[in-house]
Amino acid sequence: MAKVSVVIPTYNAEKTISETIDSVLNQTFSDFELIVIDDGSRDKTCEIVKTIDDSRIIVFSYPNGGVSVARNRGIEHAKGEFISFLDNDDLWTNDKLEAQLAALSREPEAGGVYSWTVNMMVDEDFNVSFVKGSESTLEGDIYPDLLLGNFIGNGSNILVRREVINKIGGYEPGLVFSDWDFCLRVASKFNIVVVPKPQILYRKVSGSMSSKTYAMEVEGLHALEKAYETAPADLQHLKKKSKAFLFRYCADLALSQHIDAVDLKYAREKLLSAIRLYPEIIKERYAQKLITKFFIMSLFPKRLSKLIIKNSKKIISSPDPRGNTR
């Protein structure tokens, strides 16, 4: 029986799945099973996976149910003592599993572990650039901080003990961006440790986030409402701040993927909502930079505003859901 179960939910990923699987097969820690859940793909994803000659790969095919359902199906098949998830277009550095398992072995009471993420930005011409994500060093009882934003970052990061999932359950079906909700439930009952080095390469395709930002807002609010229903009384005062940080983050995403006036209007609404909920946010550099960025985009033609922002390092800021400026 393998020590680690790696679950890859996949859907129409023929362009990326081989590279993603290779990043698992090249791990320095080798005692794992790789469970690929084909979620009703209509392209050659399943055929490509089946051509990879490695006995640790197991493929299961189902009708399309969404990423959360696919992850839960992977959990049902998993036999490992530890479980980690990897989306079908993301990558791991080759020491990801080894480093995370070592961190958990040093803290036997911890239920999960996360690492730092690097965002792979892919533009319309398929040029790739890399942008640092959150570099949080928070560990132990991270629940209060995680309520203020998902600094763990994405569903390709956390590794948890199987007993943790047995206690908290899997991913909520129907949610696309279910990783924050999942991590909040883990952190509400278990300590979490960190590997303070970049180990997750999270792919972001230019233009794709604009259509998803509203869904991220809706599902983020849903995750927060669920969390605060059971959060301790001494954390209830954070609720407005949590929502404000979520709105600000959504505004940042809209401005980063600015395509038309609809994005600008949405960013304006989210920034105003954040300020109404938590007026102190206006004092933070991150919010000030976003407001400046918004006015530049509103006052100047799109090409010129991009040039101004690109040439001004004081304006550019990578998103941090908790609001820290890097």
- 4, 98 contact by CB (below 8 A): no
Burial of 233 (0-12, 13-18, 19+ CB in 10 A): exposed
Both 303 and 271 in a single domain?
yes
User: Whole-angstrom Cα distance, residue 195 to residue 135?
Assistant: 10
* φ and ψ at residue 302, rounded to 5 degrees: -55, -45
Q: Which of residues 205, 231, 251 is at a domain's end?
A: 205
User: Whole-angstrom Cα distance, residue 92 to residue 101?
Assistant: 14
User: Whole-angstrom Cα distance, residue 267 to residue 270?
Assistant: 5
Would you state the structure tokens that stand for residue 261, as one six-digit string?
């006036």
List the pLDDT tens digit at each of the 326 positions of the chain. 899 999 999 999 999 999 999 999 999 999 999 999 999 999 999 999 999 999 999 999 999 999 999 999 999 999 999 999 999 999 999 999 999 999 999 999 999 999 999 988 776 556 777 788 889 999 999 999 999 999 999 999 999 999 999 999 999 998 888 999 999 999 999 999 999 999 999 987 655 544 588 889 999 999 999 999 999 999 999 999 999 999 999 999 898 876 688 889 999 999 999 999 999 999 999 999 999 999 999 888 878 887 887 777 554 445 556 655 44
Angle of CA points 299, 322, 93, to nearest 5°: 105
263 in any annotated domain: yes
Give me the CATH number covering residue 47: 3.90.550.10
DSSP state of 11: S
- Taking 3-state DSSP, the helix, strand and coil percentages for the chain, each rounded to the nearest 5, stand at 45, 20, 35
Both 157 and 19 in a single domain?
yes
User: Whole-angstrom Cα distance, residue 45 to residue 163?
Assistant: 31
215 in any annotated domain: no
User: Whole-angstrom Cα distance, residue 35 to residue 219?
Assistant: 27
Q: What is the DSSP string of 23-68?
A: HHHT-S---EEEEEEEES-SSSHHHHHHTS--TTEEEEEE----HH
Both 236 and 195 in a single domain?
no
Task: Identify the bridge partners of residue 75 per DSSP, sorted by sequence position.
Answer: none
Both 96 and 27 in a single domain?
yes
233 in any annotated domain: yes
DSSP state of 171: P
Both 158 and 229 in a single domain?
no
Exposure on the CB side of residue 215, measured as CA atoms within 13 A: 10
195 in any annotated domain: yes
Coil, helix or strand for 110? Answer: strand
Q: Which of residues 154, 173, 205 is at a domain's end?
A: 205
Angle, nearest 10°, between helix axes 261-277 and 285-299? Answer: 150
Burial of 256 (0-12, 13-18, 19+ CB in 10 A): buried
Both 288 and 152 in a single domain?
no
Both 66 and 106 in a single domain?
yes
Both 182 and 229 in a single domain?
no
Domain housing 254: 221-310
Both 277 and 306 in a single domain?
yes
Please count the other Cβ atoms lying within 10 Å of the Cβ belonging to residue 26.
13
Integer-rounded Cα Rg, in Å, for the chain is 20
45 in any annotated domain: yes
- 199, 158 contact by CB (below 8 A): no
- 158, 85 contact by CB (below 8 A): yes
Coil, helix or strand for 131? Answer: strand
216 in any annotated domain: no
pLDDT value of residue 204: 76
Both 166 and 196 in a single domain?
yes
Prediction pTM value = 0.91
Structural domain tally of the chain?
A: 2
Question: Could you give the C-alpha distances from 89 to 14, 44, 65, 156, in angstroms and in order?
Answer: 10, 15, 18, 10
317 in any annotated domain: no
Both 13 and 82 in a single domain?
yes
- 10, 36 contact by CB (below 8 A): yes
Both 161 and 284 in a single domain?
no
* φ and ψ at residue 253, rounded to 5 degrees: -60, -45
Q: Which of residues 205, 237, 257 is at a domain's end?
A: 205
pLDDT value of residue 304: 85
318 in any annotated domain: no
